[in-house]
Homo-oligomer: A and B are copies of this chain.
Amino acid sequence: MEQTNIESSSQPQPLTSEELRKINAYWRASNYLSVGQIYLLDNPLLTKPLTLEHIKPRLLGHWGTTPGLNFIYTHLNRIIKTNELNMIYVTGPGHGGPGLVAHTWLEGTYSEIYPSVPQNESGMKKLFKQFSFPGGIPSHCAPETPGSIHEGGELGYALSHAYGAVFDNPDLIACCVVGDGEAETGPLATAWHSNKFLNPVQDGAVLPILHLNGYKIANPTVLARLSHEELESLFVGYGHTPYWVEGSDPETMHQSMAATLDTVITDIKAIQTNARKTGNVTRPRWPMIILRTPKGWTGPAEVDGLKTEGYWRSHQVPLAELSTKPEHIQLLEQWMKSYKPEQLFDKNGALRLELAELAPEGPRRMSANPHTNGGLLLKELNIPDFRDYAVSVPHPGQVEAESTRIMGYLLRDVMKLNDRSRNFRVMGPDETNSNRLGALFEVTDRTWMAEILPDDDHLAPNGRVMEILSEHTCQGWLEGYLLTGRHGIFSCYEAFIHIVDSMFNQHAKWLKVSKEIPWRRPIASLNYLLTSHVWRQDHNGFSHQDPGFIDHVVNKKADIIRVFLPPDANTLLTVTDKCLRSRDFINVIVAGKQQQPQWLSIDAAIKHCSAGIGIWEWASNDQGKEPDVVMACAGDVPTLETLAAVELLRQQAPELRIRVINIVDLMTLQPREEHPHGLPDKDFDAMFTKDKPIIFAYHGYPWLIHRLTYRRTNHNNLHVRGYKEEGTTTTPFDMVVRNDLDRFHLVSDVVDRVAKLNQTGGYIKQFVRDKLIEHRHFITTYGKDMPEIINWKWSGTYH
């Protein structure tokens, strides 16, 4: 596709020649600094002839996307100043790291935050050297980059992050550059529909710029090779009014970009003013920009006779092998000098005053906007006393409740109490009601800016429950919302949270690095409620059964992640309160939504959750003595089956001394050296004994428990039951039977491992075998579980 300037030439020319000269100079300055970061160790102002010793021995960085990002940044500065905008910059093409860093240095923020990199020649030298250099800064946008809320690593999430940032920030505009590579990803492709969830009255605006750079690493991009008409249709279909800026001639492009930005800002303001004055919240057609510029714009046109500017060869370092090709050093010097650094920087290496004046000031600088360091703006969430929502549990196991429904009452009141602050949202892929959090709809609605019909149920433009059938979008919105200093929770079917495994990785990495950066302030934790879990997907079947997200999570740094398996409603309330108050973590809560016995009073729950693990004395009969067997459980269904097994054993082998341990906080199982919540070895040994058999009923894949405990004294006697990938559409109890996690298998496991039962064991094993045959016969005949399973209740005899 040829570069044309047809569009732009017919547009107005808003810049005076003086403005044009300056804006172009500012852009050249940022390009110069970008190339310098990629290449130079020394001689930053090129005051001496460039030689190999001034050049980095390893060239790591990406030029291709950078001049385009710099072009946009420079122009955003102009409209921020002329319109007094509150704006942040979200750049999908994270490879453009050098450009973003260059701008933060030009506008002073970088030196304010990192005083060792001042705005002079020595600072410029440090700026260059540190980039993509061991002990320096990463090559992509990263937490180290002032003004960034978006890691430039994995692609796909720029747009959902930008929307997350502007929800409930009516004054904020997030300019979001979507690379045409990233635009091919699924998460990005659906994130365009976020505009159906943006309320012009109470939310800010996103200004998407689709940057048609033309090429990925070694390939053209799909969108860059569509016809103008097709691409225009696509974005009209996505609900936008596209404005085109295309070309390569800097002067024309500056006029075109300035004129277009003037137009789109006027559009955005008109939409907002109209909606806010009239209260009319019909979904507007938001503007967006399609910017087509050459990849590696202003870089070497050809290298070694091969096309480079405007081609994928510009993706990383257009000039390489400088130690063996001296002519490349010359080319590099020519390239850098083409920006005319002497016109841009004074003798000391500082940006000339007439250019520095082009940047906004103070917190209006995109690199210093407090929304990009959300912890600065974070307000404590107003959380009611969770004890007020407690289920009354006079005796363990006598009362039933749906745990997540109880949690829903707490979330409802959190929503209500923070209604004025507008800083709490609940995300989920169409499952808020299904996950029994429906109480939220007593105080708010589902966010909805598309058409609303009379029959609709709790849809409203100002709803605060956000449902879209895209786990990616839910996660991206929530991340953007949290990174800009707000609070939230994401509820999801357990199996399908794997859809965002990779997004979880990136957010965990962001948090890990942010914690090491003093100026990054703590933000609210990312909270997951995983429900409709593996043991209660009996009706949806095998495809909906996977408890492996926990395994994925525990691979990340111990000081970032927390995993909770509350066995009932009161423990779920306690854990929820803890998670909502925490900072800089990723909290995973796994809890069922079905009716189930309640075990702990609220006081007992608080005590239990505070330790994270504990002996349930009311269910044990070892009365302070060494038990014959330890029965441990983590998760609501395993807890139920364990207690049912304990009761069977009590009937069948009353002489057996059983200790019951329940684990809420999975991290307590790890050694203290591995995780701050880890139980000290001495306490672990006291609890689990040093040599007695442990039968551990676990919610997920059994080997995770081995992985967490392999260093513990009694690990050799640990026998774990859990999900072993045996599932289908069947009854709830049959699901646990298929995976050997049911009460009968647990009893059998105990018999196999306790010497004391040598005598009676044969009888007990025959008893459980008969029960399992009866179960199988019953479900295949009647399609439901035996009444003795459905109606089972903890007898409470040990109590």
Contacts and interface: CB of A to CB of B under 8 A. Distances in A.
Contacts of A773: none
A453 B214 CA distance: 11
A518 interface: no
A31 B448 CA distance: 33
A551 B455 CA distance: 47
A595 to B, nearest CB: 14
Interface string A225-241: 11100111111111100
Given A468-B222, A469-B181, A543 B230 contact: no
Interface stretch (A261-269, A349-357, A639-647, A701-709): A701-709
Interface stretch (A44-52, A76-84, A502-510): A502-510
A526 to B, nearest CB: 17
Given A186-B190, A222-B196, A469-B185, A135 B710 contact: no
B219 A467 contact: yes
A634 B94 CA distance: 32
Q: Which residue among A136, A188, A222, A226 has the maximum number of chain B CB atoms within 10 Å of its CB?
A: A222
A132 to B, nearest CB: 5
Nearest first, the 4 closest Cβ-Cβ pairs linking A and B are A153-B543, A234-B237, A186-B186, A225-B450
Nearest to A718: B710
A139 B729 contact: yes
A237 B210 CA distance: 15
Interface in A509-547: 509, 512-513, 539-544, 546
Contact of A710 (B1, B190, B710): B710
Nearest to A545: B509
Given A1-B453, A237-B236, A731-B58, A446 B230 contact: no
Nearest to A472: B186
A607 interface: no
A433 B551 contact: no
Interface string A182-223: 101111111111001000000000000000000011111110
5 contacts: A57-B782, A57-B784, A60-B729, A154-B495, A231-B237
Contacts of A783: 41, 56-58, 133-134
A788 interface: no
Contact of A509 (B312, B506, B542, B551): B542
A210 B162 CA distance: 29
Nearest to A465: B219
Contacts of A495: 154, 505
A276 interface: no
Contact of A501 (B221, B226, B501): B501
B217 A729 contact: no
A188 B539 CA distance: 25
Contact of A707 (B184, B540, B703): B703
Contact of A505 (B184, B546, B557, B710): B546
Contacts of A391: none
A237 B235 contact: yes
A140 B541 contact: yes
A501 B703 CA distance: 19
Contacts of A546: 505
A594 B142 CA distance: 26
Interface string A686-710: 0000000000000001011011001
A156 B222 CA distance: 20
A239 B225 CA distance: 12
Contacts of A548: 505, 552, 555
Contact of A222 (B193, B232, B539, B707): B193
A182 B496 CA distance: 13
A155 B429 CA distance: 11
Q: Which residue among A220, A230, A471 has the maximum number of chain B CB atoms within 10 Å of its CB?
A: A220
A430 interface: yes
Nearest to A186: B186
Given A230-B237, A457-B218, A473 B186 contact: yes
A725 interface: yes
Contacts of A239: 226, 230
Interface string A443-486: 00010101111011101000000011111110000000000000
A730 interface: yes
Contacts of A219: 430, 446, 459, 467
Contacts of A94: 543
A33 to B, nearest CB: 18
A469 B495 CA distance: 25
Interface of A: 1, 41, 56-58, 60, 94, 132-140, 142, 151-156, 181-182, 184-193, 196, 216-222, 225-227, 230-239, 307, 311-312, 430-434, 446, 448, 450-453, 455-457, 459, 467-473, 495-496, 498-499, 501-502, 505-506, 509, 512-513, 539-544, 546, 548, 551-552, 555-557, 701, 703-704, 706-707, 710, 715, 725, 728-731, 734, 779-780, 782-784
Given A217-B434, A431-B217, A555-B725, A541 B142 contact: yes
B512 A725 contact: yes
Nearest to A131: B729
Given A237-B230, A502-B496, A506-B543, A132 B434 contact: no
Contacts of A434: 217-218
B182 A499 contact: no
A315 to B, nearest CB: 10
Nearest to A223: B193
Contacts of A56: 783
A704 B707 CA distance: 7
Contacts of A222: 193, 196, 450, 468
A556 to B, nearest CB: 6
Contact of A217 (B184, B430, B541, B701): B430
A542 to B, nearest CB: 6
Contacts of A236: 230, 233-234, 237
Nearest to A430: B216
Contacts of A221: 469
Contacts of A728: 138
A154 B707 CA distance: 29
A64 to B, nearest CB: 13
